[in-house]
Amino acid sequence: MSKPFEILHRSTAYDGFLKVVRYQLRHASFHGGWCEPVFRERLEKLSAVSVLPYDPVSDQVVLVEQFRVGTMDSPAGPWVLETIGGYRAPDETAEQVVRRELQEEAGLASGELAAVGGFYVSPGISSERIELYCARVDASGAGGIHGVPEEGEETRVIVLPVAEALDELFGRVNSTSTLILLQWLAANRERLRTDWGGAGKP
């Protein structure tokens, strides 16, 4: 059952690459009645899509390595091994984002898509939700450096056998979407190879 909340005041604290909105609000208490009003900042205008390219013929996945500002303090450094993704414009479908980003970040064309699900990235501070997909690809020619230079994007394609990629969980692979998608693939791998034809290619 949904519990009530009330926005008492809102103001834009920052509006750049990210938008931060400051709220004064109150919400229902588990004890009954209302909690005291609180102030919260929230990152907004974020809707993203992430896709794991999978080749059922070679049983390989295609990941990309790129610089991520959020991991600059990591002992492993700020270059992250992850799935392919991007932000979704208001007039775009998730499937359109998948196919665009596969081409921009890895030079790949996609065959069938499997919708995995969606999740809120960090609901304590952000409205961002990511929709997850697995895409059937031909990884035989995958490689090279890609990205959109005018967006400051540079991605290096890494092709790995599924077993090797799974061995990297919580190591070189340590971002939410990638962890979820690789574990989903581990659970659905045999079904995908059957459904997508392990002897065929997109």
| Residues taking part in catalysis | 151
Contact between residue 13 and residue 39 where contact means Cβ atoms under 8 Å apart: no
- CA dihedral angle for residue 130, residue 88, residue 157, residue 137, rounded to 10 degrees: 80
Q: 85, exposed or middle or buried, with CB in 10 Å at 0-12, 13-18, 19+?
A: buried
Two structure tokens written together for 174: 């340590």
Task: Say whether 100 sits in a helix, a strand or coil.
Answer: helix
36-66 in b/e form (b: 16+ CB < 10 A) is: eeeeeebbeeebbbbbbbbbbbbebbbbbbb
